[in-house]
Amino acid sequence: MRALRHWWDDTAGGLPATFWYLWAGLLINRAGAFAMLFLSLYLTDARGASEALAGTVVGAYGAGGAAGALLGGVLADRWGRRATLLAAHLTTAGLLVAMAFSRPLGLIAALAALAGVAHSMSSPALVAAIVDVVPAHRRSRAFNLQFWAFNLGMAAASLLAGLLAEASFTALFLVDAGATLIAAVVIGWKVPETLRRAAPAVDLGPPTGSGRTRRPGLYTALTDRTFLVFVGLTFVLAVLTLQTSTIMPLAMRSDGLGPSAYGVVVALGGALIVIGQLFVPRLIDRHRKDVVLAVSTALLALGFGVLAVADDLAVYLGAAVVWTVGSMLAAPPNAQINADLAPPQLRARYQSVFYLTFPAAAFVAPTLGGVSLQYLGDRHWLIVGGLGLLAALGHLLAGPPRERHVAALRRAAGREPTAPADRVSAG
């Protein structure tokens, strides 16, 4: 019992109550996130849309998500984290109810795009709120738990949504809206505003051409070279990770493996994350963040590179273990670096630019990956593996100057680090 208590204190101890309410809201929201999982199936089976039209509607949701990430970052720095989270959740719930009872495909497409905007607005605000309330030396733990809650909720949603869809597609949207409302109630009841209005000034670089200093805003994040290098490396990580849901099913089909085999591979990855993610902090503590990210990206490269010679389910399962471990190791330092690079008064804006990598990768991975697989066959996976190894090298090269930049930001903000800047956690 003492060992279990020590493990729990090491894994989740020292985190403020506000974090746990944010965490609970995320878990509830993700566990009820049914509608978008089955949106394409709903459109083709229940609304009679063609596959091409269904893909267009789902794409509209993704495009809305890109806009929502930027909007959420701006609003979270202006309105506040709590206000943005409540607006995003309540708007999303209303749009889901509207989609449940809408019949014209044009209206559903418009609602899907708006739902993408509202749904993605919450991500920058949520992470900014976590950074606001969690001490720097505990953020690795907090982000690890956030990643775990997200995947635990999605695993539950994947299991329950299939059963619910067989009974009623309308129920998918209504239950999703209900879960979103419950999450909003938790946030509204227990989460205070975490944005500090009187944030210290930051150096935004040279004045504009008119001689006036540029006001802090989204432009600052979009011209921060150190931050953009990190965003670019994260984009590569996202492209690699999305191979599992975009290109791998096609490769498995060409190897004579059916949908059930693909489901087994995906389920294995989800199970590993749910069971093992809580143990990750103890593996990566006291290691440099750039080294951890280089190792995790190299594992992703190795896992996907092996698929060049995969021809049966056992190889796919073994490769899935390798790339899932890589994803698990990457989550805490990736989120922590993103938080460290953001000046306090621009925290949510930086998060919004960071979150643009995911819809961008969701477009690039299937678009270029499909062409590559069609014309290059199994050599596609060698290219993916090589791209991952280059990104791993990029992390090692970018790490030292990035940490010097983070140290300068901390000095400018008047707060010395409580733990070595180049470590994942002081634990």
Per residue in 26-46, pLDDT (tens digit) is: 999 988 877 877 787 788 778
Structure tokens at 323: 């790339």
Closest CA to 398 of 242, 263, 288: 288
Judge if 174 and 281 occupy the same domain.
no
- Calculate the average pLDDT of the chain: 84
Phi, psi of 288 (to 5 degrees): -60, 140
> pLDDT digits over 175-230, tens only?
999 999 999 999 999 999 998 865 444 444 444 444 444 456 778 888 899 999 99
Compute the distance between CA of residue 129 and CA of residue 141 in angstroms, rounded to an integer. 15
- Among 3-17, 69-83, 247-261, 328-342, the range scoring the smallest mean pLDDT is 3-17
Taking alpha carbons only, the member of 247, 337, 237 closest to residue 297 is 237
Are 262 and 391 in a shared domain? yes
- Does residue 6 lie in a domain region? no
Question: Does 93 reside within a domain?
Answer: yes
Residue 400 sits in the same domain as residue 252: yes
Domain assignment of residue 402, yes or no: yes
Same domain, 335 and 382: yes
Examine residue 286 and state whether it is found in any structural domain, yes or no.
Answer: yes
What predicted TM-score, i.e. pTM, was given to this entire model?
0.79
Other CB atoms within 10 A of residue 259 CB: 10
Based on the fold, state whether residues 175 and 59 are members of the same structural domain: yes
Residue matched to tokens 């993610």: 277
Query: Are 283 and 185 contained in the same domain?
Result: no
Q: Write the single-letter amino acid at 277.
A: Q
Do both 270 and 390 map to the same domain? yes
Q: Are residues 251 and 315 in the same domain?
A: yes
**pLDDT cut 70: percent of the chain above it:** 88
**Residues 281-336 pLDDT 10s:** 888 888 899 999 999 999 999 999 999 998 899 999 999 999 999 999 998 898 88
127 shares a domain with 43: yes
Residues 184 and 287 in one domain: no
Q: Do 127 and 59 belong to one domain?
A: yes
Is there a domain that residue 59 lies in? yes
Domain-located, residue 45? yes
Q: How far is CA 196 from the centre of its chain?
A: 25
- Fill in the DSSP letter of residue 346: G
Measured distance CA(96)–CA(114) in Å, rounded: 10
CATH number at residue 361: 1.20.1250.20
Domain that holds residue 283: 218-412
Q: What is the number of structural domains in the chain?
A: 2
Buried b (16+ CB within 10 A) or exposed e, 199-219: eeebebeeeeeeeeeeebebe
Domain assignment of residue 143, yes or no:
no
Which CATH number goes with the domain that contains 24?
1.20.1250
Question: Are 293 and 248 in a shared domain?
Answer: yes
Domain-embedded: residue 105 = yes
What is the rounded average pLDDT of the residues 148-171?
Answer: 79
Alpha-carbon gap, residue 359 to 341, rounded angstroms: 21
Question: CB–CB of 70/356 below 8 Å?
Answer: yes
* Cα 161 → chain centroid: 21
Q: State mean pLDDT over 376-397.
A: 95
Q: At which residue do the structure tokens 């050599």 appear?
A: 379
Taking CA atoms, 103 is separated from 58, 114, 174, in Å, by 16, 16, 15
